[in-house]
Structures are given as structure tokens and as C-alpha cells.
Structure 1
Amino acid sequence: MFTTQDEWDRGFADGRRYRQLTDVERSLLATHLPPAAGRRALDVGCGTGELAAHLASTGYTVDAIDWSETALAEAGTRHGDAARWLRLDVEGNHDGAPLHADGYDLITLRFVAPFLSSRDRTLDALGHRLRPGGALVLITPLAADTPAERRGIALDEDELAGLQDRWAAAERHDADGLAFLVLRGPHQDETASHVGARRTPSRTQSVEPASRRQHHFHLLGRYYGQVESGRKTIEVRVATPEKTEVEVGDAIVFHDRESDRELDIVVKRVTPYTSFEDLLNAEDPSRIDPDAPREDLLVNLRSFYPPDKEALGPLALEFDHRPALPGRSLPMTPSQYAQTVPHHTAYGCLYIRDEHDRPVQLRSVYGTRLWQFPGGNLDVQGEDPLQTARREAVEETGLELGLGTPRLLLTHFLHAGPGMPLNKVGFIFDGGRLTAQHLRRIRLDPAEHDMWAVHDLVGWQELMAPLAFARLDAIERARRGEGPGYLITHT
């Protein structure tokens, strides 16, 4: 783990890189952040500049800082003037003079937070540089998915929870195995000043669900439907005494004026504006009314709120679709419920072929001597179907199969019958191809199987019972993309 500037410079010079920005990350940035036009971003620990260049391509004016001269030189060569490339130690004792005094709408840290020696202090300081309504996005590997020898590049769940607790609103998403955090409303000391507040800052009170204050808003049916479908995520009101009481973390209960339906959401941001034009220039209109162009939206807002109301000041209330209020109690405990439903068994196995894509199967020594794939029933506590399939494959063939993230080819549901009084659910994964050398290394467990064989589908159809072959045929068709990956078997 690098700790000095020289170490970072040598690392970049030697070709050390983190993984490239993914489409999932780009999509999350586009979905959970406001439009970039006219907004300013700060990319902390920019490295060779990939994220900074992407932000610039979406419309942000970007400052990109890093400690390594080597990384910044490569960023400038690759991405030109996409950003201001600034050599700066974000944790150093400096006044931040190269940074903009009026703050940023977005601050990003990708593969950076684990390396901060004073993480809370540094993130708090960056939070003070956010403009009203701004967000800090933190992207980091997870310790649970990182080898022990590289633990220093990742954060564990306790570290993530502690970090999120320091912000009034926190969203967490999965970005191909990375934690993608969108943080808004840093908790600040009462004496802390906010850098670059161009409008009145949003209130940032953090409230636990059990004690959330509730506000009740009535919506026309079409707007209610937009909230219900997840397309509307900003509500616009004006700053009447009642609406100015709404705080970040409060619950809003939306009521459909045309029915008795209602739903509750959590307020993530409250941003005041001087006019509806000002609001629509800063916010994404499609999040306010996804079915109306901006011009119609302005007309509609002014039809609801005449000039004297608009003069009070419009409010943009941002929310997501997490429930704000506790749900109803279940009619019975989980243990009681488990006794009322049919019990099932489950299995996981791997579909393997030879170099010519001919299926490979093992012959069981039990019962009717069925031909089987490597795998078995989930009978070890805590295992999932893929883990079971991998473990059983080693026990049954001596080979490690299904490494990486194999594709799920078939979900198989077997109804209970005379041979088995329980329903069964199976998951068949693509175990890949085996070379002739791999096949020669198969070592069967004689307690379970006495033979392995390779045949084409015609050959297997002659050897297998119809129901068993129907599963093999369904798997092969799913592998080729010719059929659904779901099969029901009545025994």
C-alpha cells in the first residue's frame, strides 16, 4: 500500500493501475446526479484522469487533483485540457488555493478513501467545499471481496457505516462489486462555514425512521402515478410556512387526489430557489415531470402557483423510493410461517463438455444408476448452489470446475413424487469445456460414481431416461441461446 509521493510516482511509472471506469459506474453517475451543464466537479486522487475526463464529457467543469506528478503527466497527455490537472495533497497542510473558492457541485473519490490517513477529517473538509445540493461520490473496493494481502485498498462494512453516518443522506449502490456511495449534507459543527454557498443551504437533519417527522402532500393522479412508478424523484413546492418545516430525513406521505392510495418517501435534499426559471435551470426537469417538456412544466408550475406564491421562493424536494415509515407487523413469526409452507430441497451442479461441446456426465452407483453432472444437494450449512456445485465437483472428479462467475444455464423445478416427498429446485451452471488432458485427470469417487462418459445428444438420448434427457436437452438449448432457462419436471 503506497503512503508517500515517491511510492505513488514509482507505482504509476511501473504501470500500476486500478481497474478502468465501468459502464455501470457511468450509469450510476448519470442516474443519481443532477445534469452537469454549468456545474463544477472536483476529482480527488484522479490518477491518470479517466474519471475526470468522463465527468468533463458530460458537461462538468473539472478540477482533478493528485499527489503523483507521474500520474498527472499521463493524464494531461491522454486527456488534454479536459480538466485542470493540479498536483495537490488533499491531506496536506495547505489552504487549497488552487481550488475554487465558491465550491463544487460534485466531488468524487474513486479508489482513494482507503488510502486517507485522516479519513473523517479529510472527507469533512471536502464536504464543506460542496455547494448547496451538491454530492460527494465515493467508489471503493470492499474488504470482504479483497485478498488479505491487499486489504489496505478496501473498506469494510463498519468503516462504510461510520462514514455514511457523518452525512445527512447516503445512498449505496453496487458497481460491479465496488461500493458506490452518494453522500449529501455533511454534518458540520455549528461554527463551520460553508464554502461557496450561492443559495440558502439545504437543511441537513438526520432522523431515524422510527422518529421521522411526517408531512402530507396531495398529488394529482398522473403525478402520483409518476412517483409510484419510480420516474418522479423531485417534488416542487413553494416556501409557505408549512413547507419550510420540511427537513432532510423527514417523511413525506403522498396522497392520490383521485383515490385513497398513499405512499411514503424519505426527503434527501431541500434546495430553495428564487424563481421557477432558476429552479428549472439547475434541476433535471424530467425528474420533476417525466411526461412534460421543460416549457410545459414551467407553465404548469405557474398555473399552480401565481406570482405572489412564486415570490415566496420555490423549493426542490428530492427523494428516492426507500420507505420512510415502518411496515406493518407480519401476522406470524418467521419460524411460525416456515411451518405453514411446503418444504423444498435444492441442488447445484456444473454442465461440462469436451472440446467438441459434447456433454460429459458421471454414472451414479445408486438406485437406477442415473447419469449426472458434477454437483449435488445443498446439505452444508451456509453454502449457496454454486458453492455446492464447485465443492461437489472436486469431490466427484478431482477437478476444480466452475471458477470465476459461470453463467446460470437452467433453473430446474421438480415436483414431489413417489421417489422424493419434497419439491426440489436445481441450478445448473456452465462449467465450461474440458480438454482431453483435463478429461484424463478425472478421478471418480467410487462411493458415488463408477463411470464417466462423453457423447453427443443422440448418444445420450439412447442411454438416458426421457425425463433425465429432457433436462440435458433444455440445458444445451439454453447454452446455445435457443430456449428458456427454466424447466419444470413432474416425477
Structure 2
Amino acid sequence: MPPHMFTSQDEWDRGYTEGHRYRPLTDVERSLLAAHLPPGVGGRALDVGCGTGELAAHLSSSGYAVDAVDWSEAALAQACTHHGRAARWLRIDIEQDAGASLDADGYDLITLRFVAPFLSARDRTLDALSRRLRPGGALVIITPLAADTPADRRGIALDEDELARLQSRWAVPERHDADGLVLLVLRGPCQDRAAPHVAAQRTPSGGHTDEEGGLPRRHHFRLSGRHYSQVESGRRTIEVRVATPEKAAVGVGDVIVFHDRGGNRELDIVVRRVTAYASFEDLLEAEDPARIDPDGPLEELLVDLHHLYPPDREALGVLAFEFDHRPALPGRPMPMTASQYAQTVPHHTVYGCLYVRDEHDRPVQLRSVYGSRLWQFPGGNLDTQGEGPLDTARREAIEETGLELGLGAPRLLLTHFLHAGPRMPLNKVGLIFDGGRLTAEQLRRIRLDPAEHDMWAVHDLAEWRKLMAPRDFARLDAVERSRYDEGPAYLTTHT
């Protein structure tokens, strides 16, 4: 990175001429961009502060038609030399110029990598850029985090307050941390209005709220990859921590967001119970250890807890946070309306799914990240020409779980007919096939696609009845009962 904040075009030109560079685009950034950006093919992108053009060239290779702008003539010259026709290279002062040379029809994606900290009129500039987004478009900011930046270079980074302000001005903000950087994906500009999704968030009964709009308070817990997977699979339902002031402030009804310490996964839960104990021994006598660590024996659990928290920390007291797997926060808006989606399918609406169970015949389901966060079987809508419902179910199962399921000639268990209604303007037919049982080893190998699902879980029917809406549980119940009948069942649902 440059050794200090350049403040004029001449300084930036001189810096690029002398060889000063930001750090190269990392593989983690590329992965996050691929997972969270609008589809590139046929889209148009604007890369603001493009420098020597590495991000612009990456966006071009992903299918975008790219306009790349910078106020440094030296940077643009090098970008053109290295990346040629990957973008339309434009010299623009994004804070001062009217941008007449930019695309009048707007952009599906606008990126600012290592740019936001240098904007002297940040809110005004980002508001102006947001008005150039097409419907459904995203503005992406990639920036160093001030807490991870040396004090003498603080000006090249944003702190948590600045990041929070940026996110508050958008209806659907997403934050991802990678390699000491923060990647914000911002959709639905609100400018100076309160973000509409904030008002929609529900405060659980009895929960604490913050001081801005009555939102449920959020707390962030980091977990090892093993423990995160236990939560994700629905097997870990009690989290244990020592009673530091921060953790003692967590109350019933608050939201805990679990973060995978070794990756970029996260999921949210509502705190259903908080119980204080004097020691880990007292806690483990009262709580079910299998809900704390379902993969380890009791004696190892106690050793692990003492290893994590020495006696002076345990002396603060010990807390057990109980939760289930109902989502705490609203899901992301669907990327298009139901009417728009209906136009993308080949003149019909059909889905194919696989019904799978564990070794004890308990149903396995995946939780969607969209809408009301429904529990689903592996599978999806038939939206590929030449593909049948079973083909779709098998392909989607691989994409959603990483497992090959439904091989051979699986039995058809349920034909599901959904009447058209306000949420879906076409009738829909679903075919659900028997995907068989999954071994413990197969369950451990499940790898979710975070763009579609954030959890998988195994429960008996009684527990699924508690976690699912009645209409959705009726489908699960019908599939389960059909396994014991001679022929497939038929279910009709009115939407």
C-alpha cells in the first residue's frame, strides 16, 4: 500500500510512477465476490478508483462489461497496458465530475476497492453512485479495517463506526471479513432514510433492544470450525461462556450471530434461556453435555473448557446460552419477484426433491437463506431445458450438499400440487423421491452452498413439527407416511 494518504492527482500520479501499489486481489476476495455479486454475464459494472486495473480485469473475466475510472492518469496508463480491452478506462474525479461519460443506463455492480477511506465527501459521493445502480444492483466496498491497521496509516482504513454508518444507509447490507479486509455488499440505497429492513426485524418477546428503533440486540460469538458445524447441523444447542461483562449483557430474546473462525460462514439464533453457574462442574451437572458438544465425552468436555478458560476467568462465573434453530433475523429479499421468476422457467413450474434420512430414519433438511427461511429437502425448481424432475433433484443435491444422492431408480414418494396464489402466479407440481439413508460419515461431508442455505439439521418428526410452519410440515409428514404405503402419496396445497 502507499506509505501515506495521497491527497492530490499529482501525488497519486507520482506514487504510481514510483511503483507504490495496493496489495493484489486475493483468492478469498475473489471467492467472496463470486458468491455474493449479481451474475456477471450480460451485466455492466463500474469500478471506481480502479488503479492499475486488477479488479476491473477480474470483473471483465466474470462476464461484466466494465467501466473503470480513476483520477490518476499514470494508473490508467498502466491499467491499459496490462489489461487492454478488459474495460473502458476513464479519467474521472468521482467526487467532482458530473460523470457524463459514464453509462446512462446505469450499472448492475459498482465497486470501490481501497477507495472509501479517501473520499472527502463520502456520504454524498456514495449516494450519487447509488443512483446509478440498476434495480437489484449492488455496491461493493472493500477496505482495510482500522483496528488491523498501524496508527500511522489509519487514514487508509475505516473503523467500526464508519462501517456501521455505511451499512445503515442501505436496506440490505452484508458484511464479510477476509484477510484483514472488510467486504461490504450493499443493496437498496436508503440515503438519509432509515433502512426499511430495520423496521421489519422482529424483537423476540422479553428480549433487550438497542437505542435505535427497538431492534433486538446482536452479539457476535466466534466458534471453531468443528463447533460451528455442530451448530449448523442442529446438534449443538447450548453455548457455554464465562461471564465477562460483554457476555453477561446477553439476555433472553437477544440475537447471537455465530461466526466460523476459520472461514466466512455465519448464522443467527435467538437466545431462549440464560443460566448462570458458579463453575463448569456445576454447569455440566445440570446441563446435557450432548447439547454442548455432541461429538465428545463428558470428561474431555470439562478438560477442554478448563483449557479455554483458566481459573481466574472461570471465577467470573459461567453462563449457559440455550437456543434452537429458528432464525433470529429476516432473510434476504428474493432477488426477483414471483412474476419475474415465472417468466424465466420453460412454460411450466415443476420441482424435484430427494427425501433423505439419517441412520435412525430421522429426516434431514436444509434451511433456506431467503424469505421466511423455510426448511427444505435437497432439490429445486426445474429450470434447465431437457432436464426431468429426478435429474433436477440429483443435480441440485450435489450443488446444495456436495453429495451424490438419489442414484439408481429411487421410489417416488409424493406428488405435490400447489395452486397458484398471490405469492406464485403459476400452478406448481413437485415430485419427491426417496433419497435413502445417509451414514454419519455422509452427514459429516455435507457442504452447504451459502448462497442458498445456512444450516442442515436432523430431527425426529415431533421436533420438526415445532420448527416448521404447519403447511410446510404437512408435506414432510405426507412424505414420511408414504414410505410405508404401496404407492406414492398425493398432496394439494393452496397458497
Q: What is the TM-score normalised by the length of structure 2? A: 0.46
Could you say which structure has the larger radius of gyration?
1
State the TM-score, normalizing by the size of structure 1: 0.47
